[in-house]
Amino acid sequence: MGRFNINIQPLGENYLLCSWPAKISVEISEELLAFEQFIFKKFNHFILASNPAYASLAIRFEIKNITFSELKLILLKAYQDFVFNKIESKKYWEIPVCYDSELGPDLLEACDRTSLDLETFIKLHTKPFYRIYFIGFLPGFLYLGGLNEKLFIPRKSTPRLKVPMGAVGIAGSQTGIYPQNSPGGWQLIGQTKVSLFHSNQKVPTPFQAGEHIKFTSISKADFTLASTLPILKTRVIHE
Amino acid sequence: MNELEIIQPGLYTSLQDQGRITGRNWGVPQGGAMDRLSAQRANLLLNNPLDLPVLEITVTGPTLLCHGDGQLSLAGAPISVFQNKKKIENRGLINFQKGDFLKFGNTYKGLRTYLSIRNGFKTKELFGSVSPVTGISASMRLKKGDLLFFESAPLLRSSNARLKKPLLFQDNTIKTNPGPEYDLLSLAQQTILKNIAFNILPSASRMAYPLFPQLEILKHSTSLLTSPVVPGVVQLTPDGQLIVLMRDAQTTGGYPRVLVLSEAGINKLGQMGGGNEVVFL
């Protein structure tokens, strides 16, 4: 039996929304991802798609002539039968980032705002293993958790019209990487050459919810050199 | 394989099917015809499978040069058609021959016309759909010189297939269901949502239709953890503005989801645009 009170609602005509208590918590995220896997196994032929977020999961069932309340009963029963087992052997990825005031135009301001010197700032940003809670918003965008509180900076009051692919930024308690060129309001502190999304591949991203990433600091010379390669490869540092 | 060549693309012309189901877990938007029903009807006229790719024409139509013989169908908003500069009566099906120029005028009584071709356009799918979306597709719409591939098919002398009633919207009401955060609204706010005519802002796009006016009474300070969204979700911003997410919407969002449009409601809204008025039921 699941360990929380979950709430099930329709989300449009095709999706069900399962909601856990609205918190960013490793415990909730781990259970939610395990439950997603559990129902995929259990209802293999009847689930077309699903996508998790921090504390909610959208599920698309394909069963003819079934009502929402019937589906809800089925899901609640499944949650009762569900036994939480942490999904083990998840990957830990390394992502090389060049922290530089040219590549991260807000880096120096971010140091000022947090009253940290550049070295400490980079040290604090490269220290944690950030949990990938889910992928959403844009193709390949990783929602990461675990930013050090000292690095919390509000997003920019006016978003930039163009943020380059690979830009690494901070917005409030979140840190993340722009998977492609797009407008955006995050404080930019560096850039990576790691490509987060490959639309020509069947599985377009190597990353999965529940895995972890760690940033490592590389020099501008290494970053520039990497630009001559197709992409700088990510590396699994622990499995 | 034959081609239709885009001589002029029109205002916003793109290839669309019924959208993708997979890819949400990677953040890939669903995409697909804004008015899915009309896209299906265009295919139905040619006896095609209903989910084949069609051209979605928005407001101003394209000019096409035919590099082969074939037959096409039109559904959705009515549009004027000129074949080799001659205006032709269009009851849904048009035969064309190699060398023909087909020029489409402006849509009326609706924003979007769907053009299907016998046996469908042959084009590359990404994650189970041809529909272009931000982040995975090089370009979102067709441009001058682009080629649309199709297999040649014998011309039908005549066909009885036609749409009895053009799909027009007779009124401006849109059927909705309560969204996941509907219950967080006060009774007064819930009442207002269904009793005000909202205007669609000119910035309406395939991703989202922002509505006007922003209402004082709908202002709120509820902050929501980022959670899944689907086309048809009506978001309420802290400033009291409603935003209807459409086919190319992102996969997750952080504003309260106060209403969700029915599928028929999304199709209907897809035929409306900036300046049109909507009332939620």
| Option in A52, A60, A138 nearest B135 (CB) | A138
pLDDT at residue B30 tops 50: yes
Residues B251 and B118 in one domain: no
Is-contact A52 A20, C-beta < 8 A? no
**Chain A residues with CB within 8 Å of chain B CB:** 9-15, 17, 19, 22-24, 48-58, 60, 134-141, 143, 179-180, 182, 197, 199, 204-205, 209
Residues A110 and A193 in one domain: yes
Residues of the domain holding B213:
173-280
Residues B114 and B13 in one domain: yes
Is-contact A83 A48, C-beta < 8 A? no
Residues B28 and B137 in one domain: yes
Residues B88 and B32 in one domain: yes
- Residue A198: closest CA among chain B residues belongs to which residue? B136
| Option in A12, A51, A143 nearest B25 (CB) | A51
Q: Is residue B166 part of a domain?
A: no
| Option in B135, B228, B233 nearest A53 (CB) | B228
Q: Is residue B161 part of a domain?
A: no
Q: Does an H or E element contain A223, and which?
A: helix A220-226
- Residue B250, pLDDT score: 93
pLDDT band at residue B55 under the 50/70/90 scheme: very high
Q: Is residue B101 part of a domain?
A: yes
Last residue of a domain, one of A46, A81, A116: A81
Cβ pair A57:B261 closer than 8 A: no
Residues B223 and B272 in one domain: yes
CATH of the domain at B217: 2.40.100.10
Interface test with A, best of B21, B207, B252 (most A CBs within 10 A): B252
Per the model's pLDDT, the better-predicted residue between B185 and B160 turns out to be B185
Is-contact B239 B217, C-beta < 8 A? no
Mean pLDDT across the stretch B151-163?
63
Interface test with B, best of A7, A8, A13, A72 (most B CBs within 10 A): A13
Residues B9 and B115 in one domain: yes
Q: Is B22 at the interface with chain A, CB within 8 A?
A: yes
Cβ pair B25:A49 closer than 8 A: yes
Mean pLDDT across the stretch B249-263?
94
Last residue of a domain, one of A61, A81, A101: A81
- Residue B264: closest CA among chain A residues belongs to which residue? A13
pLDDT at residue B166 tops 60: no
Coil, helix or strand at residue B107: strand
Q: Is residue B255 part of a domain?
A: yes
CA B281 – CA B271 distance, rounded (Å): 18
- Residue A232, pLDDT score: 45
Residues of the domain holding A123:
92-238
pLDDT at residue B43 tops 50: yes
pLDDT at residue B135 tops 50: yes
| Total domains, chain A | 2
CATH of the domain at A179: 2.40.100.10
The pLDDT profile of chain A, 239 residues, written as one tens digit per residue, is 889 999 999 999 999 999 999 989 999 999 999 999 999 999 988 988 999 999 999 999 988 888 999 999 999 999 999 988 877 667 888 899 999 999 999 999 999 999 999 999 999 999 999 999 999 988 999 999 999 999 999 888 777 888 999 999 998 888 999 998 888 889 999 999 888 898 888 899 989 999 999 999 999 998 988 765 444 455 666 65
Residues B144 and B181 in one domain: no
Per the model's pLDDT, the better-predicted residue between B129 and A225 turns out to be B129
Query: Å from B252 to nearest chain A CA?
Result: 5
Q: Is residue A144 part of a domain?
A: yes
How many inter-chain contacts (A to B, CB under 8 Å) are there? 122
pLDDT band at residue B156 under the 50/70/90 scheme: low
Query: Å from A117 to nearest chain B CA?
Result: 32
Taking the C-alpha atoms of B18, A48, A36 and A145 in order, what is their torsion angle to the nearest 10 degrees? -20
pTM of the model: 0.91
Residues B129 and B196 in one domain: no
Residues A126 and A229 in one domain: yes
Q: Is residue B187 part of a domain?
A: yes
CATH of the domain at A21: 3.30.1360.40
Phi, psi of B86 (to 5 degrees): -100, 125
N residues, chain B = 281
Phi, psi of A77 (to 5 degrees): -65, -45
Residues A76 and A131 in one domain: no
Q: Is B140 at the interface with chain A, CB within 8 A?
A: no
Is-contact A233 A92, C-beta < 8 A? no
Q: Is residue B56 part of a domain?
A: yes
Q: Is residue B201 part of a domain?
A: yes
| Total domains, chain B | 2
What value of ipTM does the predicted structure carry? 0.88
DSSP for residue B127: T
Per the model's pLDDT, the better-predicted residue between B40 and B254 turns out to be B40
Query: Which runs of E-coded beta strand occur in B224-273?
Result: 227-228, 233-236, 242-245, 252-253, 257-261
pLDDT at residue B215 tops 50: yes
pLDDT at residue B27 tops 90: yes
Q: Is residue A87 part of a domain?
A: no
